Chains A and B, each alone.
Chain A
């Protein structure tokens, strides 16, 4: 079994890739590779270049931001089938805004971001599918973040005083 075929099988097991045609899948597989990250190791760090879009296959990736004096704060964990590093798909943000660290032994698919962007721009149908998927990911993350921001479980005194 060639490395590409294993990759395609893995890709096909991910629900949103199942929408793509065989040709598209082959193209994507062409610039993807598997990544293994042992527990405790970083996948990427804040400030690094946005080189890959990741999809978690196994394990758990913690998205963390470093605050001086407080250390690394985990603000989200990505589970199997979650996307990590979605901002690499939009050219606006130029570097990683958070670090990603494996809290369990993890396995991910990494897709070269530059190749993915080029492919999407050239093939609008594929681009639409990818962007729609990324928009869904961002929407979900935004919802999670907003609910975290509301600090629902805090004691009343910890909330801002409202009128």
Chain B
């Protein structure tokens, strides 16, 4: 059945832009000013049972009358019955979504894209460098590693946001530390109660002790931040082939078809959004490419 084929994580996408499948909002969790996580459950039980996603993939979330937005999935890949989408309210569609309530229905198409290559890099030390909303598509990767902790070496999470109140998923950092991950947090500007670090994400690399031959780097955040994070990673001799970024471009079809999300030869929705840095290195620093 075409619906199920698209909805499962192993979609062979054979139909262009079919109508979305409907999912109910079962919970809305405010995360920070202008950011909330929408927990969605497919209305059709068969779809609910079949849906799978990989960390780093995204859904096209559809609100009839407004349009679609590409939203990364930010929840546990091992528990796909309810799917979390951490939404930043910045455009027409997302701002309309911010006015929805529990019980309202959204359309979903997906999952789309290539996710974080965790299965290929077992045994490695993992450095996760995220900024702002960029922690959302990395959280499923963190959950995956937690679920398979013995398969990975040293895990370090570096995360930064604008202010302490903008830090996402703050309640989980302790749990991640307890499970053997080093969690370093920073903010661009502190407040009176903040006793944590004030600075930027790339600088946190100076606090790390890395073994480059064993390490891989996953990063997601504003493109400028990723550029400097990659720079720090390369400076510490992590090879290009083990640095992974999640890129973002204007998306319409989500299926590598409409041409909007192209970055050089790649359709970000199809060959990305996660890329190895060596795939992008040739034109990464070309302005406005």
The 6 closest A-B pairs by CB, nearest first: A74-B190, A153-B162, A153-B132, A152-B222, A103-B195, A147-B200
Q: How many A-B residue pairs have CB under 8 A?
A: 70
- Give the chain A neighbours of B162 by CB distance below 8 A: 151, 153-154
Contact A153 B166 (CB under 8 A): yes
A62 to B186, CA, bound (A): 12
Residue contacts A-B, CB under 8 angstroms, 7 given? A62-B198, A73-B189, A104-B195, A144-B200, A153-B166, A155-B34, A155-B90
- Residues of chain A at the chain B interface (Cβ within 8 Å): 39, 60, 62-63, 71-77, 79, 103-104, 140, 143-144, 147-148, 150-156
B196 within 8 A of A: yes
A70–chain B nearest beta-carbon distance, Å: 11
Contact A152 B132 (CB under 8 A): yes
A108 to B149, CA, bound (A): 37
- Give the chain A neighbours of B195 by CB distance below 8 A: 39, 60, 103-104
- Give the chain B neighbours of A39 by CB distance below 8 A: 195
- Give the chain B neighbours of A73 by CB distance below 8 A: 189-190
Contact A143 B203 (CB under 8 A): yes
A39 to B194, CA, bound (A): 12
Contact B224 A79 (CB under 8 A): no
A130 to B198, CA, bound (A): 26
- Give the chain A neighbours of B79 by CB distance below 8 A: none
The 8 Å CB contact of A71, one of B161, B192, B207, B222, is: B192
A53 to B269, CA, bound (A): 51
How many residues in B have their beta carbons less than 8 Å from beta carbons of A? 30
A143 to B222, CA, bound (A): 16
The 8 Å CB contact of A153, one of B191, B196, B222, is: B222
Name the interface residues of B122-146: CB closer than 8 Å to any CB of A: 131-132
The 8 Å CB contact of A140, one of B34, B190, B206, B221, is: B206
B26 within 8 A of A: no
A63 to B190, CA, bound (A): 11
One digit per residue, 1 when the CB lies within 8 angstroms of any chain A CB and 0 when it does not, for chain B 81-105 equals 0000000001000000000000000
A76 to B186, CA, bound (A): 10
- Give the chain A neighbours of B222 by CB distance below 8 A: 152-153
A151 to B90, CA, bound (A): 16
B225 within 8 A of A: yes
A64–chain B nearest beta-carbon distance, Å: 9
- Give the chain B neighbours of A60 by CB distance below 8 A: 195, 197
